[in-house]
Amino acid sequence: MELLTRLRETDHGLSRRMASWDSPWVRGLLPPLEEAAEHTKLWWAAAALMAAGGGRRGRGAAVVGVTCMAVAELLSNGVVKQCVERRRPPKEWIPHDDVEDRPESSSFPSGHTAAAVAFAGSVALSWPPAGAACAVPAVLVAVERVHSGAHYPSDVVAGAAVGLAAVALVRSAPRLLIRAVA
């Protein structure tokens, strides 16, 4: 029980600290990134660029990226959020205006992070240089979700785990299907 209390206190402390970052770099980069990641626009744009300019490998990476992203969103928003009710960090912890744009749904897990990690992770396995390029905004999306007060750090970690699980599920689906049919 003491361990859970310590974890919760650490989670809350990190939330307050990350939300209070007020450098011009943070304030200039994170809000536009959040807007680009809203409704997975950033990842659809990345998929379109890979498909248009990456040849066969780019098209394959784009397809697997979008597929994994969709599975991650289904798992995070359609399953886990429905099972776990968690309030968002208190508005009083967030010293900037981004706190007004928070969703009303459960805080746990971060669907934005799940989608970002699923997309970047799956692309990295299909086309490593493009995956590395996608990993940078994926990490920044995760940071932004805590900075904006939309999530606790543990929500973001759970979202990343859901994203990685979606990658594993999509990659193993063909083998599982063959076994089921055979």
The pLDDT tens digits for 134-168 are: 999 999 999 988 988 889 999 999 999 999 999 99
What pTM did the predictor assign?
Answer: 0.88
Per-residue pLDDT for 14 more than 80?
yes
Domains identified in the chain, total number: 1
Report the percentage of the chain scoring pLDDT > 90.
55
pLDDT of residue 72: 97
- CA separation, residue 1 to residues 4, 5, 8, 15 (Å): 5, 6, 11, 21
Domain boundaries, position 172? 2-181
Mean pLDDT, rounded, of the chain: 88
Per-residue pLDDT for 12 more than 80?
yes
87, two tokens: 């309030």
Measuring CA to CA, which residue among 82, 100, 87, 80 is closest to residue 148?
100
CATH code of the domain containing 72: 1.20.144.10
d(C-alpha 174, C-alpha 84), whole Å: 30
